Structure 1
Amino acid sequence: MSKFRKKKKGMPAVNTAALPDIVFMLLFFFMVTTTMRETDLRIENPRLPSATEIKKLEHKSLVCTIYVGKAKDENKGSGYNKIQLNDKIASADQVPAFIINARTKVSEAEIPFMTTSIKADKESNVGTITDIRLKLRDVNALKVSYSTQKGSGN
């Protein structure tokens, strides 16, 4: 008789040695590719007007966004004529400084390709949007885009 018994042959255990490497690679991938919202909305989420012919903006890094709508805080007023630049409620007179500040963050060659996007609530006053456009004209920011949602246009 032998002293050694034969072991039963079965399925070998799954090797999990590479599992931490895979988990950290996925974690690193999502950390690199995820972008966080740059501004906190101080106005209510704008209900965008609908349009039939829309085009998606390219080069999002060259877009300055101006929000127009009703302020979330009741202390700021209840009208739909509030303007948000970056993280604060502002007036139309502060729009040129906002655009000039945005221009300092890009190279000189990219300045002609910069676009100003106006995200205005459909209940917003046209006079407020006209004031913004006049201030944009003063600093020669003539490429203006109005954000809409795809719809029937009604």
Structure 2
Amino acid sequence: MSKFGKKKKGLPAVNTAALPDIVFMLLFFFMVTTTMRETELKIQTPKLPSATEVKKLEHKSLVSTIYVGKAKTEKQGKGDKIQLNDKIATAEDVPAFILNERTLVSEAEIPFMTVSIKADKKSSVGTISDIKLKLRDVNALKLSLSTQKGSEIKQ
């Protein structure tokens, strides 16, 4: 017999010293890159009309969005509904909404503010016209109508 026995060599233990650093790096990455949803839609998701010439909006922080579409539930009523932030409103509420949005930005940025209307393609032109008239009353003349890219010409 030999004095020194043969020992089985196993796999070395995994070094976990860098594991907390990696976890915190991933956590920090997802915290920085994730954006929270600003509004919860209380109308049906608008099916945007198609357009061939589309331009992306710049300075998203200066964009106020007005949603127009059909109500999700029967108790909200029938016809086109207007959503401002997280509540269903009427065209009469649009000027107050715009004036409130102006208080959230600096005085120098007010001329660069844009109002974006995200309307369902089956929405009434009268509803959108009412919104445009109310926007004109508060001198919110920079307007964008949201569309999706593509052409959908059917004859």
**TM-score normalised by the chain length of structure 1:** 0.90
The 10-residue stretch of structure 1 (69-78 or 42-51) with the greater mean CA deviation from structure 2:
69-78
* Correspondence for 2:18: 18
TM-aligned CA distance change 1:133 to 1:11, over 3 Å: same
Question: 1:102 and 1:31 mapped to 2: Cα distance?
Answer: 26
CA contact (8 A) 1:52 1:153 kept: no
* Equivalent residues in 2 for 1:42-57, closer than 5 Å: 42-57=42-57
Question: 1:5 and 1:105 mapped to 2: Cα distance?
Answer: 79
* Correspondence for 2:150: 151
Question: 2:64 and 2:5 mapped to 1: Cα distance?
Answer: 76
CA contact (8 A) 1:114 1:143 kept: yes
**TM-score normalised by the chain length of structure 2:** 0.90
Question: 1:4 and 1:110 mapped to 2: Cα distance?
Answer: 82
* Equivalent residues in 2 for 1:58-137, closer than 5 Å: 58-79=58-79, 81-137=80-136
1:16 to partner: Cα distance: 1.3
- Specify the SS of the correspondent of 2:93: helix
Gaps of 5+ in 1: none
The 10-residue stretch of structure 1 (13-22 or 101-110) with the greater mean CA deviation from structure 2:
13-22
Gaps of 5+ in 2: none
Question: 1:4 and 1:40 mapped to 2: Cα distance?
Answer: 73
Question: 1:35 and 1:96 mapped to 2: Cα distance?
Answer: 28
* Paired AA for residue 37 in structure 1: R
- Specify the SS of the correspondent of 1:14: coil
Runs of 4+ in 1 over 4 A off after TM superposition: 3-12
CA contact (8 A) 1:54 1:150 kept: yes
Question: 2:75 and 2:8 mapped to 1: Cα distance?
Answer: 78
The 10-residue stretch of structure 1 (144-153 or 83-92) with the greater mean CA deviation from structure 2:
144-153
Q: Deviations over 1:94-141 (max 9, x none)?
A: 000000100101111111111000000001000100000010011111
